[in-house]
Amino acid sequence: MKFTNLWLSILVTLLSLSLGVGNLRAAEPTKVRVAYVNNIQSAALVQLKQLGKEQNLDIELIPFTRYPDVQNALAAGSVDLGPITPNGIPAAVAQGNRNIIAVMDLVYGGDAVLVRKGVKVEKFTDLKGKRVGVAEGGIGWIMFVMLLEKNGMTYNDIKASNFSSATDIVIALKRGDTDAVNLWEPFVSEAVAGGYAYTPPTISFKDTALQAMNGTLGASRAFVTSKPDTVVAALKLVLKAEEQLEKSPTLWTNLVRGYSKLSDDVLKRSLSGIRYAGPHLSKTKLDAAAAFLFKSGIAKTDVTGKMGDTINPSFLARAVGKSEAAVLQ
């Protein structure tokens, strides 16, 4: 009997050690490669670095300067999560690329019509005949054209000049080459702070089908396929980060200051027009973007209502404990 009890004791000890090793292995954090753009909106993604341990995630932050570069990285699977524009998913699907999955709305606001001081624009139709600088193809430009149509105008009603960068748009406005421009933060706030431009209060991209949404959180298909539980954990952290930043403008500005050289005044004004989306995934807005891309001739294929699982609310639903119908808009 003693012999048997001895072996039983040894087996229990070995089993305990084995379980202990297993637990140690399970405790190893999962790496998530998170792309961010060096703008104000990406602060919530940067905050994930501080929150990662709460969900046992090792967040690797990867900086980008342009949304299209983030989209290419997601499509290639070289990053797991990252911000893209609402037209990004429909544009990719129209080209036959289904490697990027929309998992959550990210941010609203940040785009505006900016008018040079001395030029009178009180309502959108006052832009008729004006020289307007735009960056064609961007989400701000898409919403600007939507406003043209909503106000019974066409591109022919303005004298549009296309620019390749925000810096060039600002220079043109400042020296008087344009009367108004379609621009985004923080360049809008910098121009207003500089005293040479203003934003007409009656003109808002909230009055478009996209309702001023200018950011979607995308995930690579490889990531959502191989690590669905990690996607859910990451979305929990994104939502917590958004809540923290909106409750604490100081935290938000400190984060942005860490990767930008913006002044406090510019940061404060920029933040006032930007809000995070919360636990929503707007299929209706992505369909609106798809319809625009096809109607304007940018996309050769109409994928409105045909994007399938590239719009996937299941991860967000699990993250907030709601049904997919409750988070899908």
Q: Mind listing the pLDDT tens digit for each residue in 275-319? A: 999 999 999 999 999 999 999 999 999 999 999 999 999 999 999
Taking only the tens place, the pLDDT of each residue in 148-183 is 999 999 999 999 999 999 999 999 999 999 999 999
3-state secondary structure 199-222: CCCCCCHHHCCCCCEEEEEEEEHH
* CA distance linking residue 249 with residue 321, whole number of Å: 28
Domains of the chain: 30-109+213-327 (3.40.190.10), 111-207 (3.40.190.10)
**Phi, psi (5° rounding) for residue 322?**
-125, 175
- For the chain, what percent of residues have pLDDT higher than 90? 86
- Spatial neighbors of 189 by CB under 8 A, at least 6 apart, are 265, 266, 267, 269, 270
- In this structure, the chain runs to a length of 329
Taking only the tens place, the pLDDT of each residue in 210-242 is 999 999 999 999 999 999 999 999 999 999 999
Residues 88 and 71 sit within 8 Å (Cβ to Cβ): yes
First to last CA, the chain: 68
For 201, other C-beta atoms within 10 Å of its C-beta total 7
Question: pTM value?
Answer: 0.88
